[in-house]
Every structure is written in C-alpha cells, then in structure tokens.
Chain A
C-alpha cells in the first residue's frame, strides 16, 4: 500500500532521484501476494528510466494554476524544469500539453484559458531547451475534468492544470 501513496506523492517529489524512491518500493512490495506483485510490476516499470511511467511518477506530468490564472507558480516551475531535463534526455518523445479548467466557469472563455495555461507550460519547456516542434497544445477548457468535482477545493485545484502527455 505504500506504493500507492508514494506514486501519488511522486508528482510532488522534490529532489528524490528516480531510483532512490522506487528501489525502496520494489523491495518493500516483494513477497506480499498477487496484488503486491502487480504493484511491484507497476513500480518496476516506473523504475525503468525513460518510460511513460517514469515520466508520470518520477518527473511529474502536471502543473497546477490559481483560479482564473495562467501564471506558472514556483511549484509548477520545478515540475517543468524536471520535465524539460527528462525530455532533453529522451529526445525521441513528442508531447501534447492538455490545458484544463475547473468547472466554475463558462465553456467558451475557459477553452481559451485552457490554451493559455498549456501555452504557458510550453513556453517554460522551450526556455529550458526543449524544441518547440516537439510540443503541441490542446485545450479542453472545463469540459474534460481530471478528477470528479465534488465541490472541494482540492478537486478544483486538480482541474486547474496543464498535463504533459507523452505521445
């Protein structure tokens, strides 16, 4: 069960290197039955540098925004720096940055706001050396939530996001 927690935390993982965190998990998970074995397999994939799981779990695929804003915050900058370093290492990937907004808004304006958020993330990646041609953006506005919006501030935050998806 530690695995789940640590993969959730992975997006917030700061200076932990990929192998420090997941070696632990692999050891921890071994010998705990079938479920644990499956989790171990998933963790093992995350352990393989250069995979989608490595990017999502160890680098962090999402950058969060304040309400109605498209300014990249300090926490988002750190994530994007890690993304850029990773993409500069694994030059075979192209990405699409998906822009999203929480549901407390209108469909039309938020389609444009989602594009502005995704573009803000793209600019930071370019500034950190990623070739602009490797990055597409698409906005879903408020119409494709990432987590169910139960009215909690956490859910709103999860949906004010730009997600870098490896194509």
Chain B
C-alpha cells in the first residue's frame, strides 16, 4: 500500500553571493503578516507533457504554502519573469515592486525514464538564494516532489520542518444518520490520492497512526456490530488484526512514542480505567484504578514521560496529566464545560483538546501545566484534534449545524488560518 518513493536529491549552487537569510517568519509570535511569495509556473523546457507536469507541480506548491496560512502567493498574472528567467537571473528590483518577499522558480527536464525538477528559492530583499535543490524521480511521483519542494520552502523560511509530504488516515462516513457507514480512509494531507482502506461494513472509530506511520490502531465493532475490540491495521500489508477482548469494552487506543505498546481505556462495570498493552507480548498492565469514574482518551507526551487523559472523577470530564510511571496526578483544565480528546503536540509544548460548553464546541490548546489556554475554533460540533507532525497545525472533525455534513477542518495554531480539508464525502477523527 505504501508506494515506494525513490528519488535522488542534490543541492544547486547559489547564483548569488551567500548571505544569511533575513527572510523568516517567527511563528512563535502571536500575530504576524503572511510572507508574500511569488511562485512562477515551473518550466517544462518546451516539452508539452513536461510543461503540464511542471505547471501542476507549481500549483501544488502554491496550494500547500497558502493552506498553512503563513504564506500569501502573489497573483501570478502580475509576474514579470518566467520560471527559467528566475532560475538563471532573477531581477529582484522588479519583484520588489510586486511586494514579493520570496521568489520561487523551477525547471522540469527528462532523465531517461525519470524526470528531474530543479528549483530555487530566493530572498528578494537581500537578493540571495535561500535554497536550491534538484530532485529526480519517476513521473508518477510528481505530487510528492511538489510536496517536498513546499516542505523545503516552509523549512527555510519558518525554521520548522514542513508537513506537506505527509498522509492522513481518517474515518470516512456516508449515508443517513440512521444506518451510517464508516470506513478507514487514507489520503495525502491536501486530500489527494484518496483511498478507502476498509469496506464500510463494520463500525470503526478513533483511528490513531503509529509513530513511524506504518500502522493504525482503532476500535472495530465487528461483523455483528456487537463486539467492539481494538484492531491494528498494517498500512503496508493491508491486513488488520484484533488485539482480542476480555472483560470490559476497550477504547481510545494510542501508540507510545516508540510504537512498542499502546495505551487505552477499558470501560467495565460503569467505570473506565487506563491500561497499557505491549504489542509484542500482548501483556496488559493497569495504569489507573478507577472504581466509579471514567478515565479515557489517554495520550503520551512525545518523550514518553507523561500521560494526558480525561477523567470525570471531579464530576465533569476534565483534562489530567500524570507521570507515565504513575503518580504526580494533576488536573490542568478549569474553564466552564467539559473536555475530551487531549493530544500532546509532537513538539511537547502544547496539549490540544475538544471543549464543550453547553451546546458549543471548541478546539483549543493549553500548555501542559494548564496555562495559556486559548480556543482556536468554535462550531456546532468539533472534536478529535490531531497534530501535524511539526506541531503547527491541527486537523479535526467539524459540523457547522445539526443537518450539515461532517467534514474535516484544519487550523494553523499561530495564524488561526482555518480551512476545510478536501475529502470526497464526509469524515471524522483524522490522524496525522
């Protein structure tokens, strides 16, 4: 299922004298202005087939960069040089007039069966090259090449790793509310290369991808729709295995940072406790001893030292943090309402969550000590946030009214840039 992606990459020497980049976005700041970037349609060297691919590559790069909210693409109708001119002798003063702060050019050429994409990124004000790469690969990989170039541009300008060459698993939903069908689906982060990976005949909930993004843990209700058990789906083989079931209804699986075990919740006799399960030995270990409260939705900190989870021991469901080895338990959420789905950022600095207050739902973030809580989105129904691998974007389930379609939405946690993710039908609970 995982497409092999072979490509070679080498650095293009700078056309301009080396300089330290002045062009950067400090994305730790609360407010900022998006970087204005000109992305010239890549040049196919007069070959019609290559020109078509070249144009598509620059479109995907533009779409990636605009989607994150940190960049604004300068209107291509105003461009005063084409890509091949930009690649050889960019006229910076002319681009300054268009208020372009960054400038991108690219060329696509044949290399036997493969093709090679050269691209350069310039800082218009310092008149210097920030990045130059050549990527060689099979023609069918053109989208991934575009995402890799977008990642490179993002990384050079923000200082953070890009997340455009990534995929997302989510629950594709279809049919009426009564008798709805659920399937696992996988797609590129921009919604392309969409594929269903389960049949839709079984109820599946809360997929969570493994740290190396090869497996997905989820809840499956079985062919009879009566036997909810945890399953692990292998993205490489397309096979799913049950983790078995004994006492209690198991839910909320998440992989440990090393991927060697999962943490989960098991509901039994009106209470729910947290457990861990070793994936090699299938050994089961109890983490919380709940006799009446519900402990659910556990998630590790990226270093594995702590666990964030939901407990209603104080009445309503609230966010708690504890040491992974036990002890040091503390409640960190105190705003009115109820919380669920806490997810630790891969950077470790924030915990994202769902909050419900009355009939209003929020997606928000707070620091692991509970400080700095802020809401990033509000709607009729929001739930199930997942972090981009660089910890800068959240994607989640969104429904804007009682009879609206259930869709996926993303928000940039700095720029508050929201956008609906392009999926063919309805969907929920993305995992990135």
A interface residue numbers (CB < 8 A to B): 68, 70, 96, 103-109, 111-113, 115-116, 119-120, 123, 137-140, 143-145, 147-151
Known contacts A106-B384, A116-B272, A120-B270; 18 further A-B pairs (Cβ under 8 A): A70-B270, A103-B381, A105-B340, A105-B356, A106-B356, A107-B383, A107-B384, A108-B296, A109-B340, A111-B228, A111-B249, A111-B267, A113-B294, A116-B267, A138-B226, A138-B227, A138-B249, A144-B225
- The size class of the interface chain B forms with chain A is 35 or more
Chain B residues lying within 8 Å of A116, measured Cβ to Cβ, are 267, 270-272, 294
Given A107-B429, A119-B269, are A151 and B317 also a contact pair (CB < 8 Å)?
Answer: no
Q: Which residues of B contact A144 (CB under 8 A)?
A: 203, 225
- Is the CB–CB distance between B203 and A108 below 8 Å? no
* Least distance between B167 CB and chain A CB atoms (Å): 22
Q: Are B317 and A109 touching (Cβ within 8 A)? A: yes
23 contacts between A and B (CB under 8 A): A68-B338, A70-B270, A104-B356, A106-B340, A106-B383, A106-B384, A107-B429, A108-B206, A108-B297, A108-B341, A109-B296, A111-B205, A111-B249, A112-B294, A113-B294, A115-B268, A116-B267, A116-B271, A138-B226, A140-B203, A148-B178, A149-B177, A150-B402
Contact with A along B252-293 (1 / 0, CB 8 A): 100000000000010111111000000000000000000000
A143 to B176, CA, bound (A): 12
Complex A-B, nearest 8 residue pairs according to Cβ-Cβ distance, in ascending order: A115-B267, A106-B340, A119-B270, A112-B272, A112-B294, A116-B270, A151-B402, A112-B267
A112 to B267: give the CA distance in the assembly, Å.
Answer: 6
Measured CA separation A105–B206 after assembly (Å): 15
Contact residues in B for A103 (Cβ distance below 8 Å) = 381
Residues B252 and A108 in contact, CB atoms below 8 Å apart: yes
A148–B310 CB distance below 8 A? no
Contacts of B177 in A (CB 8 A): 145, 148-149
Question: Which residues of the partner chain A approach B356 to less than 8 Å between Cβ atoms?
Answer: 104-106
Known: A115-B268, A116-B267, A139-B249. A108 touches B310 (CB 8 A): yes
Given contacts A104-B359, A145-B177, contact A109 B294 (CB under 8 A): yes
- Chain B residues near A115 (CB, 8 Å)? 249, 267-268, 270, 272
> Are A107 and B206 within 8 A (Cβ)?
yes
Interface string of B183-222 (1 = CB under 8 A from A): 0000000000000000000010110000000000001010
Interface 1/0s, chain B 162-189, versus A by CB < 8 A? Answer: 0000000000000011100000000000
| B270 partner residues in chain A, CB cutoff 8 A | 70, 115-116, 119-120, 123
Q: Which residues of B contact A120 (CB under 8 A)?
A: 270
Closest Cβ neighbor of B221 among chain A residues: A140
Chain A residues with CB under 8 Å of B268's CB are: 115
Closest-by-CB residue of A relative to B171 is: A107
Q: Which of A104, A105, A106 has the most CB of B within 10 A?
A: A106
> In this complex, what residue of B is CB-closest to A108?
B297
Considering the chains assembled together, what is the distance between the CA atoms of A107 and B317 in angstroms? 13
User: Does any Cβ of A come within 8 Å of B386's Cβ?
Assistant: no
By a CB distance below 8 angstroms, the chain A residues around B354 are 106
Bound CA–CA A4/B179 (angstroms):
23
In the complex, the chain A residue whose C-beta lies closest to that of B267 is A115
The residue among A107, A116, A140 with the most chain B CB atoms within 10 A of its own CB is A107
Interface membership of B251, Cβ < 8 A: yes
